[in-house]
Amino acid sequence: MATFTRRNAWMNGGTFANLDLFWYAKGVESMQALALDDPNSWWFFAAIHGQYVSLTEFPGWGFIAAPPQVPTSPVPSQVLIDQYWDQCQHQSWFFPPWHRGYLYALEAQIRTAIANLGGPADWALPYWNYFGLDDQYKIPPAFTSRTLPDGAPNPLFVSQRLGPKGDGDIYVEIPPASEACLSNTLFTGSNATTAPPGFGGPSTGFSNNGVTSGNLESNPHNLVHVDVGGFAPDQSSWGLMSDPGLAALDPVFYLHHANIDRLWAAWNGQGNNNPTNPNWLGGPAAIGQRAFAVPMPDAVAWVFTPSDVNSLSQMDYTYDDLAISINTLAPSALSRRLIFLGVSPMADVPLGAGSANQQNSELLGANEGALQIRSSGSRTTVKLESQVRSQVTRSLLGASLENLPDRVYLQVEDVRGSIDAYKLNVSVNQEPVGTVSLFGLRRASDRDGAHGGAGLNFILDITDIIDRIFMADALVADTLDVKIEPNHPVQEKATITVGRVSIYRQTQR
Amino acid sequence: MMLNGGEHNRITLIVLLISLGAWLLPPVGGTTFPAQLANWSLMVLAMMTPNLIAPVCHICARSFRHLRAHLVALFCLGYSVVWIATGSLLLSAADVMACHQAPAGPAIPQASLAAGLVLVLLWQCSPLKQLCLNRAHSAPNLEAFGVAAYTSAIRMGLTRGLWCTLTCWPLMALPLLSPHGHHVLMAVITLVVIGERLDPPEPLKWKLRIPTSLMKWILGQTRTWLQQPIEGQLLPPTVHHIGTYRIF
């Protein structure tokens, strides 16, 4: 039986009448009163996720507009920095478990602070379910009030929280943010219901930043970050939530991640399994890399692995609501697809048909040269290779339950730039195929960063579009038209480049 | 998109077999420059090919299946050209120092080896070394069609070769300076070079750079392999005082 229950932040209208939020504010205030070099402080915890403490211009922490007044000293010892800072796991299968452990430690810190103030001993971190009914797509009002009920400054208020239009109106744009990833059935890998690299992310080592986000991370996680953080209209700065090196300074960060953690638990609740690979269960330490470590109250470190946080049943908390709003038991996507392709309707196509590891990906087409994203959007022509296109056509012609047709993915490769606060809307032949968030772009583009400036990759499922083209004209086209449009103007210093736009077929045998 | 596990394993196996083959081949006899260059090439093949698994996978993942073999061959050609050119320079330099020919007076090789060791140590600690290591991790955009695909594969080979050479040349020069124990020295340097590549890129600074990733990886995997599957553990989790680590 769980000791603590994380509840919806929008209870009691998302105001301080919701005591979970009131006490959260008091706990944040207590942690913010501690120094940067104190492992129990708000600032130290933010730096565990990612930090720009020493940068000499924005996004350096010394250049963040108050509130909060972010300290840049005293800097902790190198031993502590090496053990704790810059640890967040992104574009990795460690994204869900690392953030679960991180939230667990932060929650314990806040609960201790609340208890010291005479607050409830069973306080638990609230979550922001932006997919909830009515106004829940908006940030709970407790985060936008400048004062607490007693008139004191509200520690949940952040001045550099700018929203999707950059005007201070904070909400999540739905769509494109969605819970569609909950219909996935594979944590890592792909099948008929799971686009690569899988619900939880690709197999990696320690990945403070990486290349390709998992499906939960990509949407909703990355989109929500950039929506909430936003950008300044003059692009001189951007919202804290828009950048991994700033994000955990914003108190709403933890409510967003509590919701991501809840979605992971809900996904498991549908019968979907986490990896059993020892290299996932044992974390990066299993391959000799940096271990996950977070400070618990009273100056003790919790060194944890994904196996320690593998399911809520292992933890001492739960959520008040683990129901999911999308119907994953509706006729499977594969069944609908086979019917669309003219295969006789069948009673039951198993969800997740198609195995995870036997699939082969093969390049089907690509554009020529790198592409610079302009404010008005950029177009490119993806040329299809005739032999590979014929293989796709044959696969679609011969589709059956025994010979599952190819799936087709658009890959936007090697995206580089210096500002994360963008979303890119991608369309193929004028049909929208998805929106991606550039959360993590800055770090992924650093040539001396962990991935040598490889940039970000985005994989978008365009199987439906290819099916429609096939049914309309038997896929005779030599090219596809791809358009990539930013959600707000790109200024010169925010150059965004795409290395290549390509299309892949993936066999399903 | 990524290669599936089977494809990745096949590439790894082929690359490691090529490396193993080079280790087992006897050196070319004689002290002529062509013979020395042939032995240099064999040494590079043995020592450097394990570092090509990642770029070869990158090429295969991002190219048409029917072009993969050609593009990998062109990449290897570009990579080899840089190493052979470097070998020519180093061998010429070694000739000048007259320390590669055995038997030579003991004082010259020892002095050369000592100077080489100092140079290697300085280079290993320098920010320039880190810059080269970082750039050697880069995976460039590849064109997909026609001549552009071929030229981008050659360019990738040349670029990768250049950064690898700049990263490793002092280490690779050591066996040329050493009068004895070439194979042992080569084996040690190979492990160092592989270990360095397993470390992620880092900011540039002076640092005593000891590549421990390979050893940690082997130890971590051994421990994981020896362990029973990890069952769920109940909270409260094990806690350790700040500053202590659970080793692996």
List helix spans (H) across A321-382. 333-340
What pLDDT was estimated at residue A499? 95
- What does residue A456 show for φ and ψ, rounded to 5 degrees? -105, 150
The better pLDDT of the pair A66, B226 is held by A66
B60 token code pair: 């295969």
What pLDDT was estimated at residue B110? 73
Mean pLDDT of B26-50: 89
CA distance to partner chain B, nearest, from residue A138 (Å)? 34
Give dist(CA A260, CA A6) in Å, integer: 13
CA distance to partner chain B, nearest, from residue A10 (Å)? 29
Q: Which residue of A has its CA nearest to B152?
A: A369
- Give B160's contacts in chain A (Cβ within 8 Å): none
A388 token code pair: 């590979």
Superfamily of domain A4-182+201-210+228-319: Di-copper center containing domain from catechol oxidase (1.10.1280.10)
Best mutation target, A186, A300, A363, to test chain B (most B CBs within 10 A): A363
**Average confidence (pLDDT) per 10 residues, chain A, 509 residues:** 93 97 98 97 98 94 95 96 95 97 98 97 97 96 96 96 95 96 93 91 89 95 97 88 97 98 96 94 90 91 96 95 73 78 66 55 94 94 94 90 90 94 95 95 88 91 92 86 94 88 90
CB pairs under 8 A between A and B: 176
Q: What is the pLDDT of residues B89-142, one digit of tens each?
A: 988 887 776 554 555 444 456 777 788 788 888 988 999 999 999 999 888 889
Give dist(CA A215, CA A201) in Å, integer: 7
CB contact under 8 A, A281 and B229: yes
Residue in the structure block whose two tokens are 């320039």: B128
Residue in the structure block whose two tokens are 């990579």: B79
Q: A179: burial class by Cβ within 10 Å (0-12, 13-18, 19+)?
A: buried
DSSP symbol at A221: I
What pLDDT was estimated at residue A161? 97
C-alpha pair distances (Å), A329 with each of A193, A333, A480: 12, 10, 33
CB contact under 8 A, A447 and B65: no
- Give A278's contacts in chain B (Cβ within 8 Å): 224-225, 227, 229-230
Q: Which residue of A has its CA nearest to B147?
A: A368
For chain A, the farthest-separated pair of C-alpha atoms sits apart, in whole angstroms, at 71
Determine the Cα angle at A449 with ends A448 and A455, to 5°.
Answer: 105
C-alpha pair distances (Å), A315 with each of A121, A267, A307, A310, A366: 17, 16, 11, 9, 46
CATH class of the domain whose range is A354-506: mainly beta
CA distance to partner chain B, nearest, from residue A266 (Å)? 18
The count of C-alpha atoms lying within 13 angstroms of the C-alpha of A88, restricted to the half-sphere facing its C-beta, is: 24
Domain boundaries, chain A: 4-182+201-210+228-319, 354-506
- Give A502's contacts in chain B (Cβ within 8 Å): 62, 144
CA distance to partner chain B, nearest, from residue A345 (Å)? 31
CB of A122 closer than 8 Å to CB of A245: no
Of B1, B64, B138, which is closest to A388 when you measure between CB atoms? B64
CB contact under 8 A, A83 and B243: yes
CB contact under 8 A, A302 and B237: yes
| C-beta atoms surrounding B14 within 10 Å | 14
Of B1, B223, B244, which is closest to A459 when you measure between CB atoms? B1
- pTM summary value: 0.90
Exposure string for A444-479, b = 16+ CB within 10 A, e = fewer: bbbebbbbbbbbbbbbbbbbbbbbebbeeeebeeee
What pLDDT was estimated at residue B230? 44
Residue B234 banded pLDDT, cuts 50, 70, 90? very low
Instruction: Transcribe B28-46 into DSSP letters.
Output: PPS-SHHHHHHHHHHHHHH
- If DSSP codes are grouped into helix, strand and coil, which group holds residue A354? coil
Determine the Cα angle at A77 with ends A73 and A81, to 5°.
Answer: 90
Q: Is the pLDDT of residue B11 over 90?
A: yes
A250 token code pair: 């914003």
Domain boundaries, chain B: 5-226
CA distance to partner chain B, nearest, from residue A366 (Å)? 6
Give dist(CA A25, CA A209) in Å, integer: 30
Q: Is the pLDDT of residue B44 over 80?
A: yes
Give dist(CA A311, CA A443) in Å, integer: 30
What pLDDT was estimated at residue A328? 60
CB of A357 closer than 8 Å to CB of A203: no
Give dist(CA A317, CA A101) in Å, integer: 12
Q: Is the pLDDT of residue B243 over 50?
A: no
- Give B141's contacts in chain A (Cβ within 8 Å): 370, 413-414, 499-500
C-alpha pair distances (Å), B172 with each of A245, B92, B139, B189: 39, 14, 24, 8
CB of A294 closer than 8 Å to CB of A302: yes
Q: Could you tell me whether strands A407-416 and A361-366 are parallel, antiparallel, or unpaired per DSSP bridges?
A: unpaired
What pLDDT was estimated at residue B194? 87
Contacts of A258 (CB under 8 A, 6+ apart): A6, A103, A125, A126, A127, A128
Q: Is the pLDDT of residue B82 over 60?
A: yes
What pLDDT was estimated at residue B90? 85
What pLDDT was estimated at residue B139? 85
